[in-house]
Amino acid sequence: MIVILKENHTPQQFDSLCGWLKAQKLDIQVNRGYRQTVLGLLGDTTQLDADLLRALEIVEDVKRVSEPYKKANRKFHPANTVITVGDAEIGGGEPVLIAGPCSVESREQILAIARLVKDAGAKLLRGGAFKPRTSPYDFQGMRAEGIELLLEAKKDTGLPIVTEIMDISQLPLFADVDVIQVGARNMQNFELLKELGRGDKPILLKRGLSSTVKELLMSAEYIMAGGNSKVILCERGIRTFETATRNTLDISVVPVLHELSHLPVIVDPSHATGVYRYVKPLAVAAIAAGADGLIIEVHNDPEHALCDGPQSLKPGAFAEVAELVRKITPFAVR
Ligand code: PEP
Ligand code: MN
């Protein structure tokens, strides 16, 4: 339930209302906007008389919320959430570019790519250390050593790093990681989401291969319910009947998620398509639709990449995408 307060209420009226609501065993999420204060009531509100609340001097309006996600819901929190990482403000209006290889492969590889993507305008460096591969015989990532190398690249370039966690047991290795990625395959690993919710690091939450928007938002809710409100939603293509591309990029979720949630929404055109030639047009489409950023795979030698070479951009092509993003940003629909 949402309670919108009148603009000119007194602190006494506010305290008295909150005291009464707490006595009803409800948690109160207070959102103070520029002019209006909105209370989100969490807990069992079925017994609460909305008309009684509405009649109070301090109350402007009361709305029941039917969606099961509360903390991720824009109705509870009308203003956009902005997540600051290094120089980047994700959700702050300027699209943020995250770029780097699918996997960290060596010191030379990650340092070279980090410098190149930084020069092209990336604000964060991506790179997998723990890789969820379909085949157990494929390269599984450099694991702890991969994280060490990412940290070295961070020190060298100043770029904050984004890397994927696959299991709670790996969490101690992520102490200096700036943004923890939960990959598509782990979107509903609820124990992992709960653990990440107890921390305060930004979480890049990728949409599951066959997950609905509601399921994605419920996974965000798992993290937020634990107290961590820094969740970045990521559309990375979903599985459909179409086989011409690796997945089908669901561009429509950009405006849909922005309407339903206050969390930033970014798009991954690399995993969405699986083909480097399609990354640029879909990156442009995502920005035009209002995405808060892009996460793009970039490799300096894609032909020999240990993972996802066919969808990786060479640094020059990434620089072209970055330039195009800057040009179309003023025309993006928000
Ligand atoms: C990745 O970003 O490296 C990755 C594995 O992506 P996804 O979880 O979207 O497949
Ligand atoms: Mn990849």
Indicate which residue's Cα is closest to atom 6 of ligand 1. 183
Give all domains of the chain, ordered by start, each with its CATH number: 2-63 (3.30.70.1140), 83-331 (3.20.20.70)
C-alpha 307 – ligand 1 centre gap (Å): 11
Average pLDDT over residues 54-82: 93
Res 300: pLDDT: 98
Q: Is the CB of 68 under 6 A from ligand 1?
A: no
Average pLDDT over residues 212-226: 97
pLDDT at residue 323 tops 90: yes
C-alpha 183 – ligand 1 centre gap (Å): 5
- Name the token pair of 81: 């959430």
What are the φ/ψ torsions at residue 146 (nearest 5 degrees)? -60, -40
Q: Binning pLDDT at 50, 70 and 90, where does residue 65 land?
A: confident
Question: Which residues, in sequence order, are bridge partners of residue 97?
Answer: 294
pTM (2 decimals)? 0.93
Ligand 1 test: best mutation among 133, 139, 164, most atoms within 8 Å of CB?
A: 164
What is the chain's mean pLDDT, rounded? 96
Q: Binning pLDDT at 50, 70 and 90, where does residue 44 land?
A: confident
Q: Is the CB of 99 under 6 A from ligand 1?
A: no
> What confidence tens digit (pLDDT) does each residue in 254-284 have?
999 999 999 999 999 999 999 999 999 999 9
Higher-confidence residue of 76 and 250: namely: 250
> What confidence tens digit (pLDDT) does each residue in 104-150 have?
999 999 999 999 999 999 999 999 999 999 999 999 999 999 999 99
pLDDT at residue 34 tops 90: no
Ligand 1 test: best mutation among 236, 239, 245, most atoms within 8 Å of CB?
A: 236
Res 137: pLDDT: 95
Average pLDDT over residues 308-320: 98
